[in-house]
């Protein structure tokens, strides 16, 4: 993460913002145990940090519930919490794809400001570093690429743990080799459409 991107990320997050980041397995989230703890309750809970900044929330590792917690509250929240583990359902299993597909359809699933700011900063750096016009990020091709990357991360959440982004993206020479194949496929599809037409008009 660049210094400019880090500077734009706030330190304190709301419970709802943290929940969305946790559900999405966002790399900003890190979980840890207190360096010094004697209570057995901590075996089922972890402290939550966002961008390496400790938050006033903890995560129940059994049911992924997020609880308010401060250093002064001790283990009260931990001891009072009663885990309610729901059986796996399709709605739970598909929570991340559901949020991603409905971001533009539901006001309830708005993109958190922190994530929106990260994307804005990264988009600006992309345009500046690669000398691209700002309109580039709203182009049909760029949006299609972004959707493909999001879908890849959704269906293969651990892919960046086994490879780098640089290796995930194609080399320019690979694009060059695939251009003719894509052209032939599109040409064949267009030819099939044209042969099925009974009549047409050229203007």
Give pLDDT, residue 161. Answer: 75
Domain with CATH 1.10.10 in the chain: 107-171
With the CA atoms of 13, 15, 20 and 23 taken in that order, what torsion angle do they form, in degrees rounded to the nearest 10? 120
Each of the 203 residues of the chain gets a pLDDT tens digit; together they read 433 344 345 678 888 888 888 888 888 888 888 776 556 777 888 889 988 888 989 988 888 888 888 877 777 767 777 765 444 444 444 445 555 555 555 555 577 888 888 899 999 999 999 999 999 999 999 999 989 888 888 888 777 777 788 888 888 898 898 898 888 888 888 888 888 777 777 77
**HEC secondary structure over 44-79:** HEEEEEECCEEEEEEEECCCCCEEECCHHHCCHHHH
b/e 48-69 (16+ beta carbons within 10 angstroms → b): bebbeeebbbbbbeeeebbbeb
Residue 184 token pair: 């032939």
The domain defined by 107-171 folds into Arc Repressor Mutant, subunit A (1.10.10)
pTM for the full model? 0.41
Q: How many helices (H) and strands (E) does the chain have?
A: 10, 4
Give pLDDT, residue 95. Answer: 46
Q: What is the largest CA-CA distance in the chain?
A: 82
């Amino acid at each position: 993460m660049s210094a400019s991107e880090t500077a734009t990320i706030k330190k304190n997050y709301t419970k709802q913002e943290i929940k969305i980041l946790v559900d999405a397995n966002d790399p900003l989230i890190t979980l840890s145990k207190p360096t010094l703890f004697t209570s057995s309750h901590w075996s089922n809970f972890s402290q939550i940090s966002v961008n390496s900044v400790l938050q006033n929330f903890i995560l129940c590792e059994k049911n992924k519930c997020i609880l308010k917690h401060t250093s002064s509250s001790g283990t009260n929240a931990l001891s009072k919490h009663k885990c309610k583990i729901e059986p796996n359902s399709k709605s739970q299993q598909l929570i991340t794809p559901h949020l991603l597909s409905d971001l533009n359809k539901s006001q309830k699933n708005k993109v958190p400001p922190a994530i929106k700011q990260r994307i804005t900063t990264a988009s600006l750096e992309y345009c500046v570093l690669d000398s691209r016009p700002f309109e580039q990020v709203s182009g049909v091709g760029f949006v299609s690429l972004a959707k493909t990357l999001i879908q890849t991360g959704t269906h293969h959440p651990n892919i960046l743990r086994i490879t780098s982004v640089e290796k995930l993206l194609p080399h320019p020479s690979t694009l060059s080799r695939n251009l003719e194949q894509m052209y032939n496929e599109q040409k064949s599809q267009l030819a099939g459409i044209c042969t099925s037409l009974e009549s047409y008009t050229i203007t």
